[in-house]
Amino acid sequence: MNFINTFAGLPETFYTRLLATPLINPRLVALSASAASLLDLKDKPSLRDELTAVCSGNANWISAEPLAMVYSGHQFGVYNPQLGDGRGLLLGEVRNACGEKWDLHLKGAGKTPYSRFGDGRAVLRSCVREYLCSEAMHHLTIPTTRALCVVASDTPVYRETEEAGSTLLRLAKTHIRFGHFEYFSYTNQLDSLKTLTDYTIKHCFPHLLQAGDRYRLFFKEVLEKTARLIACWQSVGFAHGVMNTDNMSIVGETFDYGPFGFMDKFDWHYICNHSDHQGRYAFSQQPDIGYWNCGRLGSALLPLFNNNAEAIQTTLDQFPGSYSSYYTRLMRQKLGLLIPEDEDPELIRELLAALQKCGCDYTLFFRALCDFVAGKDNEKLLKVIGGSAMTGWLQQYSQRLKRNLVDDTRRCQQMKTVNPKFILRNYLAQQAIEHAEQGDFSEINRLMTVLETPFDEHPDYESYAEPPPLWASGLKVSCSS
Ligand code: AMP
Ligand code: MG
């Protein structure tokens, strides 16, 4: 691989150089061929051996310059002045044959100067969850970091119990977070803040390089990308769980997978992070938190705007409108509404209210709605709904479809390209993890088969589309990852 290490070319105040701490007896748990192709790599035994050695810290790529990045961030609304890569390393950057630059980041690589009280490690279950979910999100067409591979080992790591020290090799367009800007701004390193912003524009927003007001345009684009990302999450029923500003990617990708969750039953107040007692990061809060986080980024960028808070606020004010327009567009697609009408947002609001009352499975509802035909018995849909809670809304929908000027067959086809049949339900991830912890990694690959083509039918894997079985109804995801 051909490393270019542009971040390592920045001044030393941006990072600490160091190597990964080796893991004992490493083995490759999973490798995403789809992610490998981004680096022009093919899944073959020699690649597997190379990744096992590098991802366990037992070998290094000669031209890579590994480093831990420094950043800070607002965690649960409170500013934490010093965070940084406490258990991950940016191994380096690679440019592929198409000219795209990819960061290679090893999560679980051992202690760094930013580890604080942590052990620098990651456990198998959290690596498997990030691996499955980041690949699943990509195939749902939601912006996200990618996962190249997971490696497990015999190095013990202590959480609630002893677990297997593991690593995940993450690919991303950049690992720069909102928190990077906060760090340089609030430590008053204003030259570095400018260097960071210019670097980010050069590598991630190159079309803005020549613009006179490029800092404003940069902030505006970050806002738009963030609004769009959160609209994607809301449309698919995904909760991130820890939307701290250090987990917000500057290029608007889903970033740092922790106690995330896809909703099974629709619940507007869904909280996937069991340590989030106030529900700060509940599903319903995500758009507001996205806006708040952009506000924190705006404050950090103030020195680049001659401390003109009004200029920041004017741009920031565009967030709610931008979010709503992305969200409405996505929901219209989910509902098969090909010709927009002004009243659609109201129809969507009423749908969410009806779903909240009904409490049916969010994903299955939309998938069954694809086959809805007004005036027919719609048996499959009614089975998903399980009662009369949606009758009123379905009547409204029938009326709305009359003005849609598209036949049911075409509408159904279009809807099935945006309403997934398969999502990464918590219980499915849990099953794959339990097998993996016993040394059987095959369930991860089976699950990945449906997650890679979530809009297709998979007759051999029908059960993966099912809502959680009874045993999984109280399943809690541990936040200690
Ligand atoms: P997260 O909640 O995973 O986004 O992490 C928040 C901060 O804690 C980041 O600076 C991480 O690098 C750090 N961190 C999380 N887990 C560990 C760990 N096991 N060891 C060291 N640092 C960690
Ligand atoms: Mg994080």
Residue 478 has pLDDT above 90, yes or no: no
**Closest C-alpha to ligand 1, atom 8:** 86
Final residue of a structural domain among 362, 391, 415: 415
pLDDT digits (tens, 9 = 90+) for 12-25: 999 999 999 999 99
Question: Which residues are annotated as catalytic?
Answer: 246
The pLDDT of residue 197 is 98
Residue 344 is predicted with a pLDDT of: 98
Test site for ligand 1: of 15, 75, 87, most ligand atoms within 8 A of the Cβ: 87
Ligand 1 pocket, residue 124 CB under 6 Å: no
Residue 36 inside a domain? The answer is yes
pLDDT in tens, 90-103: 999 999 999 999 99
pLDDT in tens, 349-387: 999 999 999 999 999 999 999 999 999 999 999 999 998
Q: Is 84 in the pocket of ligand 1 (CB under 6 A)?
A: yes
What is residue 476's predicted lDDT score, i.e. its pLDDT? Answer: 76
Quick check: CB of 87 below 6 Å from ligand 1? yes
The answer to whether residue 276 scores a pLDDT higher than 90 is yes
Q: Is residue 479's pLDDT more than 90?
A: no
Atom of ligand 1 nearest to the CA of 75: 6
From 156, 178, 200, the end of a domain falls on 178
Strand partners of residue 74: 79
Q: Is residue 320 part of a domain?
A: no
- Which residue is closest in CA terms to ligand 1's atom 17? 118
Looking at 392, 415, 438, the residue that finishes a domain is: 415
Is 394 domain-assigned? yes
> How far does the centroid of ligand 2 lie from the alpha carbon of residue 179, in Å?
10
**How would residue 443 be classed by pLDDT, with cut points 50, 70 and 90?**
very high
For residue 1, is pLDDT > 90?
Answer: no
pLDDT over 90 (residue 2) = no
Closest ligand, as measured to the CA of 111: 1
Range 272-297 burial, b when 16+ CB lie within 10 A, else e: bbeebeeebbbbbbbbebbbbbbbbb
Instruction: Kindly tell me if the per-residue pLDDT of 474 is higher than 90.
Output: no
Cα 413 from Cα 309, distance rounded (Å): 48
Nearest to 39 by CA among 65, 91, 1, 5: 1
Q: Is residue 32 part of a domain?
A: yes
Residue 56 lies in a domain: yes
Is residue 48 situated within a structural domain?
yes
Percentage of the chain surpassing pLDDT 90? 96
- pLDDT for 110 equals 98
Residue 477 pLDDT class (50, 70, 90 cuts): confident
Residue 135: predicted pLDDT: 97
Q: How confident is the model at residue 473 (pLDDT cuts 50, 70, 90)?
A: confident
Rounded distance from Cα 216 to ligand 1 centre (Å): 31
How many of the other CB atoms lie within 10 Å of CB of 62? 7
Does residue 25 lie within any of the structural domains? yes
- Give the domain extent around 386: 336-415
Mean pLDDT across 225-230: 98
Ligand of minimum distance to the alpha carbon of 88: 1
- Please report whether residue 381 resides in a domain: yes
Cα(89) to centroid of ligand 1, in Å?
Answer: 12
Domain count for the chain: 2
* C-beta 86 within 6 A of ligand 1: yes
Q: Per-residue pLDDT for 41 more than 90?
A: yes
Q: Mean of the pLDDT values across residues 286-310? A: 97
Q: What is the DSSP letter of 456?
A: S
